[in-house]
Amino acid sequence: MRIFDYSILKDTKWDNEIIGYVSQIHEHKAKQELFLQQKPQELDRLVEIAKIQSTEFSNEIEGIRTTNTRLKQLINEKTTPKTRDEEEIAGYRDVLNVIHNNYDYIPITPNYILQLHKMLFSHSSKAIGGKFKNVQNYISNTYPNGRTYTIFTPLSPFETPIAIESICQEFNKAVAKGDVDPLILIPIFIHDFLCIHPFLDGNGRMSRLLTTLLLYRCGYIIGKYISLESKIAKNKNLYYDALEQSQKDWHEGKDDPECFIKYLLGTIISAYRDFEERVDIIFNNNSALEMVKKAIFTIIGKFKKSQIIELCPSLSVKSIEKSLKKLVDENKLDKHGAGKNTFYTKKNN
């Protein structure tokens, strides 16, 4: 059986790329704390956007979908689920809300992980929520011809409860000792969790929820303002590649988690950069038109109104629409398409 011992990580010599990533995140964290002290109210809209995106994209990775209108209604609890997909989206919403509001009071233990998993499936008819797997599961992929193959065989059901108990204990001990930076411990914990694959369903979603929880508990609350799940979804091939590379020889304890560590830390850095970019647009007391212009300047290629809404969360949709129309009328933007298919491109003048 795989033995977990996070204490040995204090003697590991990480390469310069990982060390650089950790240093950058520490710097970004300090800047974020300063922004939050200055104008916390202006950032409330970022929280709302991140919550919608996190719920949408974490489920999207697993092929769980609904319409944009239904998604927003579900997240704002203005409707009840009508489909199996919507049941699982509502469950993710509930767990994310609990983590956002109570992370300080959610210790990293098997019992709490089971409770969060039970909540994830609380709207579903599936009788699997809050229970570890009782049959062997496999991590598989599909060839272009439709034939599936196994990439990785997780731990057996018999070994699973002991392994989850072990990684929780090892993580908590290592954080308490302070010998290893939490930014190293978090990807390793998540990687081990995914290799154990403790549930019959929901492992990927639980891993992303736990990533947010662990980051929050260690003082990194970037996921509250910028969706980490949306970034993972947009580069999910890199996510799966990093995980697959890091899984080699995992059962023997000879795996090298560096690839997954770099992937996750790079994703966190990207989120911090987005946060600072949006804060820069919000905090300079520009007019709505100037804010929209500044947001457009950060975009390469064509863009939609939804991207400007995301970059300018302090503006109303009406103000953004008015600003875009003015820029089109002034021949600074070209408008293409109509309705939901509308997009814009910048003029080269």
Domain contains 28: yes
Domain finish residue from 281, 309, 329: 281
Asked if 64 and 15 touch (Cβ cutoff 8 Å), the reply is: no
Q: What CATH number did the domain enclosing 198 receive?
A: 1.10.3290.10
Tokens of residue 186, six digits: 């978090």
Please give the pLDDT value at position 92: 97
| Mean pLDDT score, 132-143 | 90
Q: What CATH number did the domain enclosing 328 receive?
A: 1.10.10.10
Q: Contacts from 205-209 at CB under 8 Å and sequence distance 24+?
A: 205/58, 205/59, 205/62, 205/92, 205/120, 206/113, 206/116, 206/117, 206/120, 208/54, 208/58, 208/232, 209/58, 209/92, 209/95, 209/96, 209/99, 209/116, 209/120
* pLDDT one-digit tens code per residue, 33-55: 888 887 667 678 788 889 999 99
Please give the pLDDT value at position 279: 84
Domain encompassing residue 84: 6-281
Domain contains 295: yes
Please give the pLDDT value at position 138: 93
Domain contains 1: no
Number of domains into which the chain is organized: 2
Residue type, 121: F
Please give the pLDDT value at position 107: 97
Task: Identify which of 20, 218, 3 has the alpha carbon closest to the alpha carbon of residue 108.
Answer: 218
Please give the pLDDT value at position 222: 96
Asked if 296 and 308 touch (Cβ cutoff 8 Å), the reply is: yes
Please give the pLDDT value at position 287: 85
Integer Cα distance of 268 and 15 in angstroms: 18
* pLDDT one-digit tens code per residue, 169-195: 999 999 999 999 999 999 999 999 999
Task: List, in order, residues 6 or more apart from 254 with CB less than 8 Å away.
Answer: none
User: From the CA atom positions of the chain, what is the Rg in Å?
Assistant: 22
Domain finish residue from 246, 265, 281: 281
Tokens of residue 264, six digits: 């996750």
Same domain, 138 and 74: yes
Q: What percent of the chain has pLDDT over 70?
A: 98
What 3-state class would DSSP assign to 140?
Answer: strand
Please give the pLDDT value at position 285: 64
Same domain, 301 and 220: no
Model confidence at 284, pLDDT cuts 50, 70, 90, reads: low
Same domain, 332 and 293: yes
Mean pLDDT of the chain: 92
Same domain, 31 and 176: yes
